[in-house]
Structure 1
């Protein structure tokens, strides 16, 4: 909206060159960025997790829409032996591993807030038996 506070006729440099068409273009780009941000805020509930108070289960969901429950899962944190946080390279990742050393499917970095290593440390404080395997 800041673009619309500029008078296009007074938007000139020292040499007198004016570009009044830039103001509406900047306004359109600003509105577009705002719309995309609002879209992400609306889509955000489509994935996430919670720890259910009654059972203590870790419950998660992905790809939820108004018409579909999406993919869901649940497990008790006692099944989690370790959390691997891989911070090497451009694509950080997070995975949960069971006591048998196998990766527990479907719960990954898409569900937890960034930075993943801080989330893993907070989760470990709640469940001290969990080991964090951090790869830097």
Structure 2
């Protein structure tokens, strides 16, 4: 008997986020972007968008990543539901990310906690068991609204 998959819909006060994490390889430094568009209303649609993006064919969250000469980075995406609102992201790449966040994705739910500094964030995350794909520190140009 085939299992029927129900899309996980966002509740009225939740939004679906595509969380993009850029890891500067060989360091503990990460950057994060919180993409959100009202066209994406469930996690299944977000994951489909992620699949298109991996093939270079973004439908909604179109963006380009610019490599920094002399550095390599890894890029990973996660879909999650969240109740926080974020300012728009800097598409130009000209603004330095000045906001430090502890990013936690648990049971497909996004929680973003502002931290005073990157080192304070790392200390907090390490005391909770260390960085993982679902819990990490990152800098962002976006503010929590």
Q: Which TM-score tier does this pair reach, normalised by the shorter chain?
A: under 0.3
| TM-score relative to the length of structure 1 | 0.26
- TM score, norm. by length of structure 2: 0.25
More strand by share: 2
Pick the structure with more helix per residue: 1
